[in-house]
Structure 1
Amino acid sequence: MSYDEIKYEVEDGIATLTLYRPDAMNAFTGKMMFEMIDAFDKADADDDVRAVIVTGDGERAFCAGADLSQGAKTFDYESREDRPDKQESPVKPDGTVDYSHEAVRDGGGRLTLRIFESKKPVIAAVNGAAVGVGITMQLPMDIRIASDNARFGFVFARRGIVPEAASSWFLPRIVGISKALEWCYSGRVFGAQEALDGGLVSEVLPQDKLMARAKEIAREIADNTAPVSVTLTRHMMWRMLGADHPMEAHKIDSRAIYSRGRTDDAKEGVVSFLEKRKPDYPVKVSDGMPDFFPWWEERSYE
């Protein structure tokens, strides 16, 4: 797939996905959604990619939310001329809605579910305004850092809708239920320091240092860690957020430690440490994941 609304570049083991609608503050569209999903597919399939950085073009906005150019039709998918899905309507002849229909699905949620499934760690470098889907798309990203001019807003209630992109699952797990509700109830836009204080981002930096710091974090991962170990760790951490007992974590920890311990990666990790040299891990994500991966039950939209 060629891209019009994002840029995707890979350099020295780091993929950079840039939201690219410079004349519209990188506002989100159905086309951008499909392009971003495709880019994450590419990153997962490329063993040379060790980490993904997501940022926005320019210095004004990471993503200013949904494209509102359709006016009052923006969130009325039946009325829009640019619907990403051209299949039949979910509205039945009697006027009731088939809510399990594919056309009902929220585009932001399609994207965040794909990011959640990523086999590579994802870093958000928030370079400006991030409101609506511009912030909710970041929630399944693993590390979020922001420039000091970044602004955030869960503005849904101020637009007559509700938080989307599976943010009702992600946001309380990241910042706690009270802070999540405060931000979503008010819909107000707040600054980078409040985002830092609330745990939404982990660092705030001057704009001109943001991407260098994001690459520094990605470089630390790429240069020092085993790819399969990072993929397993990512999914162990995220998926255990929904576990109902630590025994579930113990089961996966045990399988992962046992299986990893038998690999050449584990040998290389120990020997490189003892020899005080940079490791060279041989096992690839594309063909070296343990046989119990993925261990979770397949889920679909039904």
Structure 2
Amino acid sequence: MSTDPIQFTRHGHLALLTLNRPDTRNALSGEEMFAAFEQLFAEMNADLSIRAAVLTGAGSAFCSGGNVAEMRDRTGMFGGSPAQIAANYRAGIQRIPRAFQTLQVPIIAAVNGAAIGAGNDLACMCDIRIAADTARFAESFVKVGIVPGDGGCWLLPRVVGWSKAAELALTGDTIDAAEALRIGLVSQVVPAGQLLEAAMALGQRIAANPPQVLRWTKQLLQEGRDSTLDQALDSAGQFQGMAHHTADHAEAVSAFFEKRAPVFGNDGASQPGTPT
């Protein structure tokens, strides 16, 4: 079995990323884990043949968050003065949400078990979340006397709204998959044995579309979280202008009239760049 902190496998145009620290319930700790997110995302961004990705966890948990044993022992990220700990977070776990912010490929969280603390936030960093019916979620930082140091107070309200995010963050309550679906934290709940199949099927439906247009659409969704309507319309117009001049757009239109499935390019050679 691979010892990589994140296992990477290809399934056609779909990438499967598996957190591979089941002994710590896939806790987010250590330089190797932080660097793996950055390296894999950079490689995926550079490869236009990767059109979508799925993130899941090895073992019984999706991600247990931070390493509580290191918190107890004041080692790793949790060692030093208050100023040193803040610096540790910037140089450590905060690299993960920053890496997600740069990821151009649409990514689905397949939450196979507990998503606790930073694990809940990790799911929120993904574009889409699907849960096994056995999954559990908690924004539980207050339960161990700390705050969401990985950006959870920015991420969670954008997924479930301010009031519910405040309730979860201030109580630290654990919710089940059914409640996660009810509040919009996840978009689907499926039997545990069918989770990966369902997530991969969704990923394949996404990956059936033009690769560059998928990335532009994701960028518009990201920008839309904080932009005005005028800014969003301006960006959409620029991307649309470029999209109309891609080979994949011409292929999609031809396929529509010829009543056949389109065949989209992988290498991006005919795709214009990002607007400035």
Tell me how far apart the structure 2 counterparts of residues 213 and 51 of structure 1 sit (CA, whole Å): 14
1:16 is aligned to 16
Alpha carbons 2:66, 2:117 under 8 Å: kept: yes
Tell me how far apart the structure 2 counterparts of residues 10 and 74 of structure 1 sit (CA, whole Å): 38
Unmatched segments (≥5 aa) in structure 2: none
Tell me how far apart the structure 2 counterparts of residues 262 and 46 of structure 1 sit (CA, whole Å): 21
1:27 is aligned to 27
1:126-184 alpha-carbon deviations (Å, 9 max, x no partner): 00001011111121211100000000111111111111322222211111000000000
Alpha carbons 1:106, 1:164 under 8 Å: kept: no
1:291 to 1:51, Cα distance in 2 relative to 1, 3 A? closer
Q: Whose helix fraction is larger, Structure 1's or Structure 2's? A: 2
Unmatched segments (≥5 aa) in structure 1: 81-90, 296-302
The answer to whether residue 181 in structure 2 is matched with residue 180 in structure 1 is no
The answer to whether residue 261 in structure 2 is matched with residue 260 in structure 1 is no
Counting only pairs closer than 5 Å after superposition, residues 134-153 of structure 1 correspond to structure 2 as 134-153=119-138
1:62-121 alpha-carbon deviations (Å, 9 max, x no partner): 0111122224244773637xxxxxxxxxx7xxxx9489x854516332111211211110
1:53 is aligned to 54
Tell me how far apart the structure 2 counterparts of residues 123 and 78 of structure 1 sit (CA, whole Å): 30
1:3 to 1:121, Cα distance in 2 relative to 1, 3 A? farther
Alpha carbons 1:26, 1:56 under 8 Å: kept: yes
Tell me how far apart the structure 2 counterparts of residues 290 and 53 of structure 1 sit (CA, whole Å): 26
1:141 to 1:291, Cα distance in 2 relative to 1, 3 A? closer
1:132 is aligned to 117
One-letter identity of the residue aligned with 2:67? D
Q: TM-score, normalising length from structure 1?
A: 0.84
Tell me how far apart the structure 2 counterparts of residues 198 and 107 of structure 1 sit (CA, whole Å): 30
The answer to whether residue 239 in structure 2 is matched with residue 239 in structure 1 is no
Length, aligned pairs only: 274
2:253 aligned residue (267, 270, 273): 270
1:198 aligned residue (152, 177, 183): 183
Identity of aligned residues (%): 33
- Root-mean-square deviation over aligned CA pairs: 2.3
1:289 to 1:54, Cα distance in 2 relative to 1, 3 A? farther
One-letter identity of the residue aligned with 1:228? Q
Alpha carbons 1:5, 1:21 under 8 Å: kept: yes
Alpha carbons 1:136, 1:164 under 8 Å: kept: no
For residue 69 of structure 2, give the secondary structure of its aligned residue in structure 1.
coil
2:212 aligned residue (198, 217, 228): 228
2:271 is aligned to 288
One-letter identity of the residue aligned with 2:250? K
Alpha carbons 2:247, 2:271 under 8 Å: kept: no
For residue 10 of structure 1, give the secondary structure of its aligned residue in structure 2.
strand
1:242 to 1:13, Cα distance in 2 relative to 1, 3 A? same
The answer to whether residue 170 in structure 2 is matched with residue 169 in structure 1 is no
1:107 is aligned to 92
1:105 to 1:21, Cα distance in 2 relative to 1, 3 A? same
Alpha carbons 1:65, 1:132 under 8 Å: kept: yes
For residue 62 of structure 1, give the secondary structure of its aligned residue in structure 2.
coil
One-letter identity of the residue aligned with 2:247? D
Alpha carbons 1:108, 1:137 under 8 Å: kept: no
The answer to whether residue 203 in structure 2 is matched with residue 218 in structure 1 is yes
